[in-house]
Chain A
Amino acid sequence: MTLKLVDPRRAAPVAVPPMLEVEGLTKRFGGLVAVKEMRLAIRPGEIVGLIGPNGSGKSTVMKLVMGILRPNAGRVSVDGVDVAGWPSHRVARHGVGLVFQHSRPLHRQTVGENIVLALLPDSLLRLVADPQVERRARAIAERVGLGAVFDRRPATLPFADLRRLELAKAIARDPKVVLVDEPFAGLTAGEVKDFSALIASFRTENKAVLLVDHNVKGVAALVDRAVAMYLGAFVAEGSAAQVMADPTVRAVYLGGAVQASARREPKARTAGPPLLAVEGVSVFYGKAQALDAVDLQVREGEFVSVVGLNGAGKTTLFNAISGLVPHTGSITFGGAPLAGLSAARIARGGIVQCPETRELFNTMSVRENLDLGGAHLPKSDRARQLDWLLELFPILRSRSAQAAGKMSGGEQQMLAIARALMMKPRLLVLDEPTLGLAPVILEQLGRALEVLRTTTPITVLLGEQNVTFALPHADRVYVLEHARLVWEGPPARFAEEAGRAYL
């Protein structure tokens, strides 16, 4: 490998053809268009950030480039060869490497052996490793800072070292195009610096690098250019500052002006014990801390929004409340502790979560999904609840015989909410209902939530990264950032006190 010494900050000359060029890339999942005519180009030695809110389709683009998914249409050209639709292993051998966000190393092998794996040729007959391989593995381990733990097993390593191992495996293939999925997720400030330096070193090796992340801020210091996408399509392109200033991008992230609409007086009771009390709750995923001593209360009849960027810990908080992840600290509901109860008991007890991933039964019809939600209700109640919900979401009535998986994203979200409501929850936990939805659908969803709030006694806990959607309905707002709650207050004070920090 020859090192070309170029000024890392100078953009490559325009005459150099792109190493990675994506054009008209489209991917559909049933009725859902995940990526729509996406385009993007990266020259050798260039680092480009692909940003977009959760559900915008950026991960899908990455998987389409890598060949993990097959595109429905479009071109993915790597070093002048169209690799769209190739199987993943051929794309990899053609010179594309992917640094996975969630590392799954071989646990019975050492760090060194895991790197050796990436250095092996795709051969069935290689029964004895080339002695060169061991030496190269050691050199790569030194480069990414794993030299000292070369002979340890991955299970004994801290989280950041596991990320280094993923990077090492990608480096081992010496790819021409490097895709990095959420480069800094779960890393401390010091580790972010180390990783930035490692990624920047790809520039001098003339690799084309694509960093996929939720917001520009995270990768601004590192990228030469940023490309923003929303709802599966290209939105803006330019320097990090240009993209951050782009009106469409701002609208996507902040929904224009942050407003706390004039709204009725909160009807929630402010006295008495809270319906839900979360005290000092922490959650670890292996070695990564996803939630750090969170305190939060929700009173009967209240509408509380938890806002925070993707990865801040919203879903983890909700999963802890629903009994889906183990946690420390205490959570009480209606005065009774939830510790030790199964997720099913908690759900039947009145806390119903409508998860971010929707978790619909895709091959069942809309009606069957709703019936399953109401399976615990007496027959007459079930019929009444169903009527009310079909009134609330009329689209579901006309779709009642359709398979849930074949509907559009917006319809699926309405079904997910309706199914949760079929369980007659006392507390409805809504996790990112706006994920990947078009503005017109957001309006419909917003109206439905308004009806819920004004006509029913249901208490709602809403998690959102879309502030415009989260604020108008809320009686109270919490801001979650890097696993901690950093602000709490009425929506009217949000823009002034927390809005700036949020962007």
Chain B
Amino acid sequence: MGSLLRSRLFWGSLAGLALAAAFPLVGGPYTIGVLIPAFYFAVFAMSWDLLFGFAGEVNFGPTFLIGLGAYGAGIVDARYGLGVPLSVAFGTALAVAGGVALALPALRLSGPYFGLVTLVAVLLLQQMVTVFADVSGGEIGLSLPDVLSIDDATNYYFALGFMALSGAALFALSRSPAGLILQACGQDPVEAQALGFNVAKHKLAAFVVSAFFSGLAGALLVFYYGTASPGTFIDIAVGVQIIIAAVLGGRRTIVGAVLGAVFLVVAGEVLRPLGQMSTFAVSAVALAVILLAPAGFLGTLLFRRGAA
């Protein structure tokens, strides 16, 4: 605990949270509306960093897990009127179950095949939403009878609190003994096995944790919007944004993913007047950061001297 109180990262994160908490005092409803999804987006990116940065697996399908959470929660609420808490629990459980069903066979594959399987899973889920349009709302989208809150301030603090708690949990996990083992499994699986660690078990566990937070955030986000559509929750493009956010913020830092996610969402909004050019500008900045500082925002700040 002593080391936590001396850590720059801890105090920096606390200062960042305080700033974010004070923001509604100065920011208008429009900016607040931009930041709320950004906070959920940050949880997606942090969950993804647990897999990429620590387990060493590139999951091209973060939106498979998010989509299961969002649509799982949305469908049971729209069809059976389960209400927010139960629907969110169902969506999260579905994401974890789907994650295990995907990871169990996929983790047996080595190299780029794991990533390809996760990519195919996203396409499959997207097809399912289209095919079973009478249940899922298809391309048009699914409207929910319930929302988290109609008050933006409540939504804002709920999203911020959820992000802070998820971040704290994922960060603590990454710095725990189990996280150390996971990192060793990702970096040198042969040596990790020779030290007696069941690499497949640890990677599967990481996948489950990642699926839990992705699914939970997806389910909550669906109740913030009040609607679900493949374009916001499942599309490959959304997954790519999450990956860019995590890499931009700093691989293997967890917290950095928040910076990346907020940067991507806010920059996209700020540059919106540019029209089509805004996507181009944001992508160009992301590309420049990845090429010039592959350790990302936070990685560059924290680990400037050591090798990444």
Contacts and interface: CB of A to CB of B under 8 A. Distances in A.
Interface of A: 66-68, 87-89, 92-93, 97-98, 100, 104, 106-109, 113, 116-118, 120, 122-129, 153, 155, 169, 173
Query: Mostly helix, strand, loop or mixed at chain B's interface?
Result: helix
B177 A97 contact: no
B306 A155 contact: yes
Given A68-B193, A104-B191, A117 B303 contact: no
Interface string B198-219: 1101100100000000000000
Contact of A100 (B194, B197, B201): B194
B193 A88 contact: yes
B194 A97 contact: yes
A98 B190 CA distance: 11
A129 B177 contact: yes
Interface string B272-308: 0000000000000000000000000000000100111
A98 B194 contact: yes
A74 to B, nearest CB: 20
Contact of A92 (B173, B187, B195): B195
The 3 closest A-B pairs by CB, nearest first: A88-B193, A92-B196, A127-B176
A173 B202 contact: no
Contacts of B172: 127
A89 B183 contact: no
Nearest to B209: A124
A127 B178 contact: yes
A87 B199 CA distance: 10
Which bucket holds chain B's interface residue count?
20 to 34
Contacts of A124: 178, 201-202, 205
A107 B196 CA distance: 20
B53 to A, nearest CB: 10
Contacts of B236: none
Contacts of B178: 123-127
Nearest to B189: A88
B40 to A, nearest CB: 25
Given A88-B190, A126-B177, A117 B252 contact: no
B196 A116 contact: no
Given A104-B188, A123-B178, A89 B306 contact: no
Contacts of B306: 107-108, 153, 155
A117 B193 CA distance: 12
A125 B182 CA distance: 12
Contact of A126 (B176, B192, B193): B176
Given A104-B187, A106-B187, A127-B173, A66 B307 contact: no
B195 A107 contact: no
Contacts of B205: 124
B203 to A, nearest CB: 11
B180 interface: yes
A113 B180 contact: yes
Contact of A122 (B173, B194, B198): B198
A68 B180 contact: no
B76 interface: no
A92 B188 contact: no
B195 A169 contact: yes
21 contacts: A66-B194, A68-B193, A87-B198, A89-B195, A89-B197, A89-B199, A92-B193, A97-B194, A100-B191, A108-B303, A116-B180, A120-B181, A122-B181, A123-B177, A123-B178, A124-B178, A124-B205, A155-B306, A169-B195, A173-B195, A173-B196
Contacts of A98: 194
B184 interface: yes
